[in-house]
């Protein structure tokens, strides 16, 4: 990054030349002192005294419409180097000038807000962006930055306000985002069956019909009220919404069918589901435990054993060992120990956007901060190598 500084004198020089050509016609005599200042500034930079260099360049670059851009470029370079305080100084110096056009003033306010965000002073950044957002025709960048701040601060109602301002232009992107924010609000509420939560869920559905998280939330509420048919209707939709999330829905469906004594129906449902999604280990495991309940351990063992030949998985192996003959005193505990460890160590959720993986389902990825990009993944035998590699 150090080499970037070599560009600073260039940036300054181009600004200075622009200023020069502007003044040449009228104030030719003023050119030489500016020239001397430029070399003083350059010297400070070379001596690695950027603060003194900034002072010189600020003095040197007369702020007019032609040099504002040069100033902004200089400040942004400091920000990119992680030197937010210096960037703030330059931008503050610029914003104090009375001759700026409205567009220039807006741009500098946005840059200054970004400086504060980089410096971690979120409340100052928020103030600046709010000032811009309250205008008649607010710059979208200011709204986007506020949206970022409110997500970071987990201020979901304010985040919803900002996302709604962008909704008309970015419907496809903002709809699912707003739905996630309403889900956050719903989950924050201590009483899940309150009317407030109900209205949050309704709003979430209005903004994104395909929000799996809303369906799961709604189903959980129905289950806690013993409304199992309604819960199942919500959960069933998830296959169309995004079938990758079905492993999250299946245990809840299991609860519904068990509570209504309809395990045989669920068994047929799972067999049909596995025809459509043969790799879904979760469905295979739940089906195994239903077979065990309905037809006994031998039948369950037989079913799972034959399935694992075609669809091997660590979780399946673990379940098979638990179901089978436990009489071998050395081999069974050994294999069970290994499969259990792999199960525990394996990451079940992966972000399709940045590759972040973990044991917990986060609706907002801790890695890339995107929403609903983390999905359940299977721990297949083929991934054993990666698991073993990561344990070294
Ligand atoms: Zn991610």
* Within-domain flag for 24: yes
* Within-domain flag for 177: no
State in Å: Cα 357 to ligand 1 middle. Answer: 8
Asked whether the beta carbons of 370 and 356 are under 8 A apart, the reply is no
Domain boundary among the residues 153, 182, 213 is at: 153
- pLDDT score of 65: 61
Taking 60 as the threshold, does the pLDDT of residue 19 lie above it? no
* Within-domain flag for 316: no
Q: In this structure, is the dihedral angle defined by the CA atoms of residues 224, 230, 235 and 241, taken in order, positive or negative?
A: negative
Rounded to 10°, the helix 314-323/281-295 angle is 10
CA nearest 73: which of 141, 145, 15?
15
State in Å: Cα 358 to ligand 1 middle. Answer: 11
Domain boundary among the residues 138, 153, 168 is at: 153
Domain boundary among the residues 120, 153, 186 is at: 153
Helix (H) or strand (E) holding 339: helix 331-345
Domain that holds residue 387: 347-392
- pLDDT score of 17: 44
* Within-domain flag for 94: yes
Instruction: Kindly report the number of other CB atoms within 10 A of residue 189's CB atom.
Output: 12
- pLDDT score of 362: 95
CA nearest 45: which of 74, 16, 66, 14?
74
Tell me, what CATH number does 139's domain have? 1.25.40.10
The pLDDT tens digits of the residues spanning 132-158 come to: 999 888 899 999 999 999 999 999 999
Asked whether the beta carbons of 305 and 297 are under 8 A apart, the reply is no
Taking 50 as the threshold, does the pLDDT of residue 15 lie above it? no
The pLDDT tens digits of the residues spanning 102-117 come to: 888 999 999 999 999 9
State in Å: Cα 101 to ligand 1 middle. Answer: 40
Tokens 């741009």 -> residue: 107
| Residue 64 pLDDT level (bands cut at 50, 70, 90) | low
Bridge-based pairing state of the strands 357-358 and 349-351: antiparallel
State in Å: Cα 361 to ligand 1 middle. Answer: 12
State in Å: Cα 111 to ligand 1 middle. Answer: 26
Determine what percent of the chain is predicted with pLDDT higher than 70. Answer: 83
Question: Distance of CA 102 to CAs 31, 137, 166, 201, 289, Å?
Answer: 30, 12, 22, 41, 68
Q: Give the predicted TM-score (pTM) of the model.
A: 0.78
State in Å: Cα 350 to ligand 1 middle. Answer: 8
* Domains: count for the chain: 2
């Amino acid at each position: 990054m150090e080499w970037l500084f070599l560009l600073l004198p260039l940036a300054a020089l181009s600004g200075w030349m622009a200023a020069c050509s502007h003044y040449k016609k009228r104030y030719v005599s003023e050119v030489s002192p500016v020239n001397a200042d430029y070399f003083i500034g350059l010297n400070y930079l070379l001596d690695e005294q950027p603060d003194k260099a900034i002072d010189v360049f600020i003095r040197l670059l007369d702020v007019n419409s032609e040099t504002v851009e040069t100033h902004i470029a200089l400040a942004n370079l400091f920000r990119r180097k992680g030197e937010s305080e210096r960037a703030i100084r330059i931008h503050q110096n610029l914003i104090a000038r009375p001759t700026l056009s409205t567009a220039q003033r807006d741009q500098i306010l946005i840059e200054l807000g970004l400086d504060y965000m980089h410096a971690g002073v979120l409340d100052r950044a928020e103030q600046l962006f709010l000032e811009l957002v309250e205008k008649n025709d607010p710059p979208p960048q200011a709204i986007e930055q506020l949206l970022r701040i409110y997500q970071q601060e987990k201020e979901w109602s304010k985040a919803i306000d900002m996302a709604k301002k962008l909704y008309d232009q970015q419907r496809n992107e903002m709809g699912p985002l707003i739905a996630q924010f309403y889900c956050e609000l719903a989950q924050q509420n201590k009483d899940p069956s309150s009317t407030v939560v109900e209205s949050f869920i309704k709003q979430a559905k209005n903004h994104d019909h395909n929000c799996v998280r809303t369906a799961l939330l709604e189903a959980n509420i129905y289950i806690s009220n013993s409304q199992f048919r309604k819960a199942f209707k919500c959960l069933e939709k998830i296959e169309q919404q995004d079938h990758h999330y079905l492993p999250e829905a299946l245990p809840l469906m299991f609860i519904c069918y068990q509570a209504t004594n309809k395990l045989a129906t669920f068994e047929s449902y799972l067999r049909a589901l596995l025809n459509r999604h043969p790799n879904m280990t979760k469905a295979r495991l739940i089906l195994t435990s239903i077979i065990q309940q309905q037809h006994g351990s031998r039948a369950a063992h037989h079913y799972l054993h034959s399935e694992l030949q075609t669809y091997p998985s660590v979780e399946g192996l673990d379940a098979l060992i638990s179901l089978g003959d436990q009489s071998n005193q050395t081999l069974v505990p050994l294999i069970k120990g290994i499969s259990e460890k792999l199960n525990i160590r394996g990451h079940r959720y992966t972000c399709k956007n940045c590759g972040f993986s973990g044991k917990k389902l986060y609706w907002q990825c801790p890695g890339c901060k995107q929403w609903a990009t983390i999905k359940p993944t299977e721990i297949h035998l083929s991934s054993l190598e990666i698991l073993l590699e990561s344990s070294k």
